[in-house]
């Protein structure tokens, strides 16, 4: 028996297939940074930045009023040392006097993703791969941001990804999957977070349920803008959604990350009882996924400028703990050559995915000595909670 298919039928099949592939591509728009592999292996830094000075003084106070947690997504020791090399041997991160190591494994896998990795830091519990703000049984658990909020501290999130992406969302959302972007956006309306800056505007306004969450935010008293300069009153809550999904990579987005960090700190420091702020350098991870040395180092250097803004405030304030860490390492980066004077680095990679290697934790300010040694990523939450004095 011979089966004949005419041209019009074939055309219909082909059209359906194209539509299906297009639909799938839309579903994974937030994760497209993982798909393009670029094996660049060298980088020269044309514009080294200055670092904050006189930071190696150890503080005697044990209890901070404020905590600024900065997460370099995918940033392991190799990424830090490579950035240090191309910046002439100097980084703001390198000025921090206390260092430890965090074990990043999640509940059900040896190698974590950013959802489970961010959640472990945010809620202090290991969870399954891809989870967001829930424990291993998929039950919601309060984050350090939400606990701080309950104790009348001001709170904020800053990210160079969509604000609904895994790491920032870990601190405010409670969803079974990190891919539930519209549900994650809903969760921002369930808190009284004072400041959030990042991409992801699409998930607030282009929704299946027809809601416009930006209008609802305005009703709650938030200022809403697309640029930092859109915010007129730094004493009132605000949301700055800088892009439809993710912000452009550095340098195309300009000094958005350090400027947003500085602006958030100025707003949150007006609170009498203190504040908690999480800042993410999201795209270090994306450069590592691509094995793109230029991309990951430009992002790491940009992240270090944001660290500098946090440290400048902490040095003057004397009541602020600054913590710098990562949710996991990406790429298995190995430094195979470099030159401090020429600001160059050569690198090779073991993977285009996340790895299981421990990541560094750097700390400065009151309570910073609690972050030395080797410990689970969940302990970062526990240490912050203890130092804030929350029961």
Concatenated DSSP letters of 142-183: --HHHHHHHTT-EEEEEEEEETTSHHHHTTT--BS-TT-HHH
| Alpha carbons 260 and 218: distance in angstroms, whole number | 20
Residue 185: helix, strand or coil by DSSP? helix
Return all residues near 343 (Cβ < 8 A) that are at least 6 apart.
44, 45, 46, 48, 85, 86, 87, 88
| Alpha carbons 127 and 39: distance in angstroms, whole number | 33
For residue 132, what is the DSSP state?
A: B
Count Cα neighbours of 197 within 13 Å in the Cβ-side half-sphere.
27
Residue 91: helix, strand or coil by DSSP? coil
| Alpha carbons 56 and 25: distance in angstroms, whole number | 48
* Per-position b or e across 28-42, b if 16+ CB within 10 A of its CB: eebeebeeeeeeebe
Count Cα neighbours of 50 within 13 Å in the Cβ-side half-sphere.
4
| Alpha carbons 108 and 61: distance in angstroms, whole number | 38
Task: Report the catalytic residues.
Answer: 114
Count Cα neighbours of 244 within 13 Å in the Cβ-side half-sphere.
3
Residue 70: helix, strand or coil by DSSP? strand
Report pLDDT for 267.
Answer: 97
Do 121 and 325 form a contact (C-beta atoms < 8 A)? yes
| Alpha carbons 261 and 264: distance in angstroms, whole number | 5
| Alpha carbons 46 and 132: distance in angstroms, whole number | 38
For residue 92, what is the DSSP state?
A: S
Do 247 and 160 form a contact (C-beta atoms < 8 A)? yes
Strand arrangement, sheet containing 154-162: 223-225, 238-241, 195-199, 154-162, 275-281, 66-72, 320-325, 359-364, 98-103, 373-376
Do 264 and 277 form a contact (C-beta atoms < 8 A)? yes
| Alpha carbons 38 and 174: distance in angstroms, whole number | 34
Report pLDDT for 2.
Answer: 46
Report pLDDT for 55.
Answer: 60
Report pLDDT for 10.
Answer: 56
Return all residues near 186 (Cβ < 8 A) that are at least 6 apart.
213
Report pLDDT for 70.
Answer: 99
Do 160 and 197 form a contact (C-beta atoms < 8 A)? no
Reply yes or no: is the peptide bond before residue 217 cis, omega within 30 of 0. no
Residues constituting the chain: 391
Return all residues near 106 (Cβ < 8 A) that are at least 6 apart.
112, 113, 116, 117, 120, 126, 127, 128, 129
How does pLDDT run along the chain (391 residues), one tens digit per residue?
Answer: 444 556 555 556 555 454 444 444 444 456 666 665 556 578 999 889 988 875 655 555 679 999 999 999 999 999 999 999 999 999 999 999 999 999 999 999 999 999 999 999 999 999 999 999 999 999 999 999 999 999 999 999 999 999 999 999 999 999 999 999 999 999 999 999 999 999 999 999 999 999 999 999 999 999 999 999 999 999 999 999 999 999 999 999 999 999 999 999 999 999 999 999 999 999 999 999 999 999 999 999 999 999 999 999 999 999 999 999 999 999 999 999 999 999 999 999 999 999 999 999 999 999 999 999 999 999 999 999 999 999 8
Query: For 42, phi and psi rounded to 5 degrees?
Result: -140, 160
């Amino acid at each position: 028996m011979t089966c004949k298919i005419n041209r019009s039928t074939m055309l219909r099949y082909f059209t359906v297939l194209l539509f299906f592939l297009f639909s799938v591509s839309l579903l994974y728009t937030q994760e497209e940074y993982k798909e393009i592999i670029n094996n660049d292996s060298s980088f020269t830094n044309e514009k080294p930045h200055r670092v904050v000075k006189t930071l190696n003084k150890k503080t005697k106070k044990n209890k901070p009023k404020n905590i600024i947690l900065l997460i370099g997504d995918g940033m392991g020791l190799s990424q830090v040392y490579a950035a240090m090399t191309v910046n002439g041997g100097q980084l703001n991160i390198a000025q921090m006097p206390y260092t430890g190591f965090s074990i990043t494994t999640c509940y059900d896998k040896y190698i974590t993703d950013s959802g489970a990795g961010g959640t472990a830091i945010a809620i202090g519990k290991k969870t399954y791969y891809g989870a967001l703000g829930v424990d291993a049984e998929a039950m919601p658990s309060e984050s350090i941001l939400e606990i701080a909020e309950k104790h009348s501290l001001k709170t904020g999130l800053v990210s160079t990804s969509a604000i609904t992406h895994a790491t920032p969302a870990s601190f405010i959302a409670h969803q079974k999957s990190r891919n539930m972007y519209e549900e994650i956006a809903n969760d921002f309306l369930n808190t009284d977070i004072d400041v959030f800056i990042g991409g992801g505007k699409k998930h607030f306004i282009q929704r299946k349920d027809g809601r416009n969450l930006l209008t609802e935010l305005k009703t709650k008293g938030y200022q809403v803008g697309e640029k930092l300069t859109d915010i007129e009153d730094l004493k009132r809550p605000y949301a700055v959604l800088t892009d439809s999904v993710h912000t452009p990579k550095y340098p195309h987005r300009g000094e958005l990350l350090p400027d947003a960090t500085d602006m958030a700190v100025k707003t949150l420091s007006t609170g009498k009882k203190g504040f908690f702020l999480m800042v993410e350098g999201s795209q270090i991870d994306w450069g590592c996924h691509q094995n793109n040395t230029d991309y990951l180092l430009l992002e790491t250097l940009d992240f270090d400028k944001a660290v500098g803004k946090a440290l400048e405030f902490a040095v003057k304030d004397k009541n602020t703990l600054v913590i710098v860490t990562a949710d996991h390492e990406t790429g298995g980066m190995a430094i195979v050559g470099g030159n401090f004077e020429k600001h160059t680095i050569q690198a090779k990679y073991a993977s285009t995915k996340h790895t299981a290697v421990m990541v560094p934790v750097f700390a400065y300010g009151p309570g910073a000595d609690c972050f030395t040694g080797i410990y689970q990523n969940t302990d970062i939450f526990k240490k912050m909670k203890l130092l804030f004095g929350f029961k």
